[in-house]
Amino acid sequence: MSRKKVEMDIVHPDCAGIDVGSKSHFVAVGQALEEVKEFGVYANDLVAICQWLQSYGIRSVAMESTGNYWQSLYVELVRHGFAVTLVNGKFTKHAQGKKTDVKDCRWIQKLHTLGLLSGSFLPDETTEQLRTYCRQRTNWLELAAAATHKMQKYLRLLNFRLDVVVKDVCGLTGLTIISQICKGNLDPHALSKHRHYNCRKSEAEIAKALQGNNRPDYLFCLKQEYNSYLFFQEQIEACDTAIAAFLQQQINTNPTKCQLATDSKPYKRLNKNAIKGIDLNQTAYQYFEGVDLMQIEGVSHATVLTLMSEIGPAGFSKFKTAKEFTSWLRLAPNNKISGGKLLSNRIPKGSNRLKIALRNAANVIGNLKDTHLSNFYKRVAYRRGATAAVSATARKLAVVIWNMVTKKTPYKPPTDYLFLDQKRKLKLVEKIRKNIAKLDLKPQELGFATN
């Protein structure tokens, strides 16, 4: 009995596979050894790769997303007109035999020929540039936070318990006192004179907390960390300026966006790490072409900025449905079924910056009261716990945002969220109505009718 052969259709007949490395790239245009060639990583080598592929009539290229070594090669391939498929490395790790660079690039070329590789999400060039600015700003914020923790450490070693008498050592009172300590002013009573009027503690209590041991080595380290903190703040301000200028430039290129305007949202509070020099509420409304994402409860300025920089308005259109979007975010259950039984439905491991931002927003929603999303959070938390509730609310939030951006629909929850002043007004009106009904008062008695 002869064996049956299973034939597969060739989806990409003129394709190549590239195994990306840190010091060299291996390129395969076929399965023969003479159709594999090694190239360097310099600019001339990248151009040579494109020319070699063009000599074989290659039109489509598949490559692994290894670290950040692929980015320069990807840009060069796109510039030469190739259709590039960027593949996650975990989908190309099943080649038989020993692992070598030559076998890897041939395996990638074979899989891509048969159409068995799916490309990763890549934002458009505008979103990629904004993402670079925003990620750099996030790096500076993390470094500033680390410097703050080290300042607190050396203050404790100096026995300056500034963290006990002020809410934030990097606030107005805290930074002023630290700057005076770094200048050599170690008198507790003189330092307490720099207390800001909003500080709850008195000057006497602050002076009592600032009686330290004045060790010179700790003072030296505290001064260095303070100077580092000031430097990081300057870099953050420079990033804020660059982000504001970039967003304004993108909005000014479209006259339709410039004419859009939304209502102010004073209830959306700004913390000290929020971007400065730009009205993000108005800018985001124009950037997303009339979609008011800030209208969603729990969505802050940081969440909107992450949406703008990580996926952008054009990125939502790359996902056909909201289910695909939530699956890419790894917020949807990964159902594993065998023998007709559901073995597992856990959420896949891994996260990105957008998923983290949505989970942070979901955590904020869980602390709200009497909103559509917070009620959903509490129902899930009652059955499954807080961790599952955060993931479920983040997924629901992602679906809401996808529908708003792709379908250009406003946010209309089944139940409206009322702020504190609105709740007080409704309670007062309801109380007045009950009293009127209780006393059986007529409109004429209340002076509402003149006839």
270 lies in the same domain as 330: yes
Residue 119 lies in a domain: no
Give the whole-number percent of the chain exceeding pLDDT 90: 61
Determine the average pLDDT of the residues in 238-259: 93
136 lies in the same domain as 263: no
Q: How confident is the model at residue 417, as a pLDDT?
A: 63
Determine the average pLDDT of the residues in 280-308: 93
- Please state, in angstroms and rounded to a whole number, the distance separating the CA atoms of residues 165 and 173: 10
216 lies in the same domain as 91: no
- Please state, in angstroms and rounded to a whole number, the distance separating the CA atoms of residues 333 and 345: 5
Calculate the alpha carbon distances from 360 to 18, 134, 322, 388, 417 in Å. Answer: 38, 17, 20, 13, 19
Residue 297 lies in a domain: yes
What tokens does 216 get?
A: 């010179």
Residue 4: pLDDT band with limits 50, 70, 90: low
Residue 399 lies in a domain: yes
Q: How confident is the model at residue 200, as a pLDDT?
A: 87
Calculate the alpha carbon distances from 9 to 4, 6, 114, 225, 308 in Å. Answer: 16, 10, 6, 63, 40
Domain boundary among 216, 249, 282: 249
- Please state, in angstroms and rounded to a whole number, the distance separating the CA atoms of residues 396 and 403: 11
Determine the average pLDDT of the residues in 408-416: 83
Determine the average pLDDT of the residues in 129-149: 96
Determine the average pLDDT of the residues in 399-409: 94
391 lies in the same domain as 287: yes
Structure confidence by residue, pLDDT tens digits, 315-374:
999 999 999 999 999 998 888 888 778 777 788 887 889 999 999 999 999 998 888 899
Nearest one of 281, 271, 282, 277 to 238, comparing CA atoms: 277
- Please state, in angstroms and rounded to a whole number, the distance separating the CA atoms of residues 64 and 19: 6
Q: How confident is the model at residue 414, as a pLDDT?
A: 77
Amino acid making up residue 398: A
What tokens does 203 get?
A: 């000057």
172 lies in the same domain as 310: no
Q: How confident is the model at residue 437, as a pLDDT?
A: 81
Residue 422: pLDDT band with limits 50, 70, 90: low
Structure confidence by residue, pLDDT tens digits, 5-55:
667 778 888 999 999 999 999 999 998 989 999 999 999 999 999 999 999
Residue 221: pLDDT band with limits 50, 70, 90: very high
Q: How confident is the model at residue 6, as a pLDDT?
A: 62
Residue 121 lies in a domain: no
Model confidence, pTM? 0.84
299 lies in the same domain as 390: yes
What tokens does 162 get?
A: 């500034």
330 lies in the same domain as 205: no
Q: Name which of 95-104, 206-215, 415-424 the model is least confident about.
A: 415-424
Amino acid making up residue 73: L
70 lies in the same domain as 151: no
Residue 118 lies in a domain: no
Determine the average pLDDT of the residues in 172-186: 92
DSSP state of 271: -
Domain boundary among 206, 226, 249: 249
Residue 235 lies in a domain: yes
Q: How confident is the model at residue 89, as a pLDDT?
A: 82
| Domain housing 395 | 258-407
Residue 139: pLDDT band with limits 50, 70, 90: very high
Place of tokens 């035999």: 97
Burial of 273 (0-12, 13-18, 19+ CB in 10 A): middle
Domain boundary among 206, 223, 249: 249
- Please state, in angstroms and rounded to a whole number, the distance separating the CA atoms of residues 332 and 335: 9
299 lies in the same domain as 398: yes
Q: Residue 61 forms beta bridges with which residues?
A: 16, 84
Q: How confident is the model at residue 222, as a pLDDT?
A: 95
Calculate the alpha carbon distances from 135 to 28, 130, 234 in Å. Answer: 34, 9, 16
Q: How confident is the model at residue 334, as a pLDDT?
A: 82
- Please state, in angstroms and rounded to a whole number, the distance separating the CA atoms of residues 280 and 70: 33
Helices 216-252/280-287 angle, 10° precision: 40
Residue 227 lies in a domain: yes
291 lies in the same domain as 163: no
63 lies in the same domain as 170: no
Alpha helices in 254-371 (DSSP H): 255-258, 280-287, 301-310, 312-315, 322-328, 353-366
Place of tokens 């979007």: 325
∠ CA 152-153-155, nearest 5°, is 65
Structure confidence by residue, pLDDT tens digits, 83-136:
999 998 888 876 677 788 888 899 999 999 988 888 888 899 999 999 999 999
Place of tokens 């300056």: 160
| DSSP letter string, 360-425 | HHHHHHHT--S-HHHHHHHHHHHHH-HHHHHHHHHHHHHHHHHHHHHHT-----SS----HHHHHH
374 lies in the same domain as 426: no
Place of tokens 């699956």: 327
Residue 310 lies in a domain: yes
The CATH number of residue 95's host domain is 3.30.420.10
Residue 435: pLDDT band with limits 50, 70, 90: confident
Q: Could you give the number of structural domains in the chain? A: 4
